[in-house]
Chains A and B, each alone.
Chain A
Amino acid sequence: MGAYRTDDDYDYLFKLVLIGDSGVGKSNLLSRFTRNEFSLESKSTIGVEFATRSIHVDDKVVKAQIWDTAGQERYRAITSAYYRGAVGALLVYDVTRHVTFENVERWLKELRDHTDSNIVIMLVGNKADLRHLRAVTTEDATAFAERENTFFMETSALESLNVENAFTEVLTQIYRVVSRKALEVGDDPAALPKGQTIAVGKDDVSAVKKVGCCSA
């Protein structure tokens, strides 16, 4: 993981949020992606935390500032304040706990209430390594994602399965939309993160929607 670039060296900065029920693995997805770490004893997130990582898309450096949020509904008033300015979201459920999938709809509403309607959203079924405990089928989740016009992937933070892909896919989609729109930020990349909304056209999202793949 030595290839990570320093914090200030980027062309684009995109804010992502990680949302979903308590215990679905949001913090571990984040730590796997940003630090290649995983812990079964990772503590509940109180309020919000964030981490960053830069990746390359084409010849550009895209820096992701990823906000990890508390899963419990009680904290939602606080966490939803951090949705502002997000251009991408990973909406995470646990493939072994059906109730976390049932709640995805509520999370999606929450997200759409607080963000630009064109935000790039990926539905993420985490804990795909627990094959014998699976309670949500890939088909059900795929159908939901198609209906709601979101991307979809199944991941395992524990086995490092698809984690990189999920984040990279979301960042790449945002990048594509932004660069296609020729949003000129090259001269002043720092101007982008300050809560500005990047218009992500709905059509653009649809056009690339199929790219999201599943593992299982």
Chain B
Amino acid sequence: MLKTLMTPPVHCWKGDDGSGQTTNTDASALNTESSDSDSSEDPEVIQASSSSEGREENDPDVPLKDYISPSRTDLHPNQCTGENFATWQRIIRVDAVRANAEWIPYSPTQATVSECRARRAADAVGLKDYDFLEPCGIFHAARLVAILEAYAVYDPEIGYCQGMSDLLSPIIAAITEDHEAFWCFVGFMRKARHNFRLDEMGIRRQLSIVSKIIKCKDSHLYRHLEKLQAEDCFFVYRMVVVLFRRELTFEQTICLWEVMWADQAAIRAGIGKSAWSRMRQRAPPTEDLLLYAIAASVLQKRKLIIEKYSSMDEILRECNSMSGQLDVWKLLDDAHNLVVNLHDKIETPF
């Protein structure tokens, strides 16, 4: 299931990606499964619509259509941070070698990659400092470097920001071809890139929605948060930035993301709220299922927060320690219940 749903709509993206950065050292015959994405029934889970529909974060200047050469990126470092391509290269490598190994059971072909091939892949991207890693870890790290660097060239406004490797790792675990994984990631980032913007607009918008969901659902909890000056919901920052990747296991993450993507695909396919309500009495698709899930995870702790916690710090610690404690199905059920009850209030423009 994972493989099928994760596969990008390659028929849309096939062709030279023009990045010139991906290694393709693994282009040889690992498998040919990627062609199964042609199935017209699969939601095009990762393909983003080219128009930035109204609800997408308010960023009109998505620069993704222009190819920008690495040299141009070098010459024009990100104006606000002073970060340039060399900085990104350095941080990408730091993060690539510390990617966790959770994906291994889900990607047997990559898990058994030979040491020789892994080292070749590492050499191809100039990756060092990996002596403590197994061959599959080296290979995974090398692929992360190749694709993240290509992305930084492709989208220099964002470049590389820590957390992006968390988002890419599951994608390359499922997709063995670098060029396909790259375009898949591009599609994913079409929405997620706003999380990494310097002006924090994407994050702030999402935190305010989480806050609004909690306010509408549980005024008692919300008043407590206000008392602690925590109603901005900053304590869920990490959940928003890397889409629950740090709190959930690999399998749970894929599960949640796929449900989110299915919702987004339904919206792109024009299945709006009214059509949905005729089809069934369930939660209509929403662009913001993630945010409902995040609010649900906080609401699950409402008693603890209200009775025991007297500062934002404590709530932050609680949220940061949810890793491994969550039941993704319960979370989705709770999130969907919130959607059913609140979407009319939450999703009106504010």
Contact = CB atoms under 8 A, between A and B. Distances in A.
A43 B100 CA distance: 8
Interface in B85-112: 87, 90-91, 94-95, 98-101
Interface string A68-100: 001111110110000000000000000000010
A77 B199 CA distance: 9
A76 to B, nearest CB: 8
A46 interface: yes
B162 interface: yes
Contacts of A42: 98
A46 to B, nearest CB: 4
Interface string B270-291: 0000000000000000000000
Nearest to A190: B310
Interface string B138-173: 000000000000000000000001110110000000
B39 interface: no
A45 B238 CA distance: 9
A46 B94 contact: no
B191 interface: no
A72 B91 contact: yes
B161 A23 contact: no
Contact of A44 (B82, B98, B237, B317): B98
Interface stretch (A47-55, A112-120, A142-150, A208-216): A47-55
Given A72-B161, A74-B81, A43 B246 contact: yes
Contacts of B196: 74
B241 interface: yes
Contacts, number: 67
A84 B164 CA distance: 28
Contacts of B81: 73-74
Contacts of A45: 162
A41 B83 contact: no
B337 interface: no
A40 B98 contact: yes
A153 to B, nearest CB: 23
A78 B195 CA distance: 13
Interface residues of A, number: 24
Contact of B320 (A23, A49, A71): A49
A65 interface: yes
B163 A99 contact: no
A16 B99 CA distance: 28
Nearest to A52: B317
B162 A72 contact: yes
A65 B313 contact: yes
Interface of A is mostly: loop
A72 B198 CA distance: 11
Contacts of B317: 49-50
B253 to A, nearest CB: 14
B98 A46 contact: no
A98 B163 CA distance: 24
A138 interface: no
Nearest to B317: A50
Contact of A47 (B95, B98, B198, B238): B238
A22 interface: yes
B200 A77 contact: yes
A35 to B, nearest CB: 12
B94 A22 contact: yes
Interface string B290-325: 000000000000000000000101001100100000
Contacts of B98: 40-44
B244 to A, nearest CB: 12
A78 B313 contact: no
B232 to A, nearest CB: 11
A48 B100 contact: no
B166 A43 contact: yes
B113 interface: no
B132 interface: yes
Interface in B54-98: 81-83, 87, 90-91, 94-95, 98
Interface in A17-60: 22-23, 40-50
16 contacts: A23-B95, A40-B98, A41-B98, A43-B98, A43-B166, A44-B163, A44-B165, A46-B237, A46-B246, A47-B237, A49-B316, A49-B320, A70-B162, A72-B162, A74-B161, A77-B200
Given A46-B242, A46-B246, A72-B162, 17 more contacts: A22-B162, A23-B91, A23-B94, A44-B95, A44-B98, A44-B162, A46-B162, A46-B163, A47-B241, A49-B316, A49-B320, A50-B317, A71-B162, A72-B83, A73-B82, A74-B81, A74-B198
Interface of B: 81-83, 87, 90-91, 94-95, 98-101, 132, 161-163, 165-166, 196, 198, 200, 237-238, 241-242, 246, 311, 313, 316-317, 320
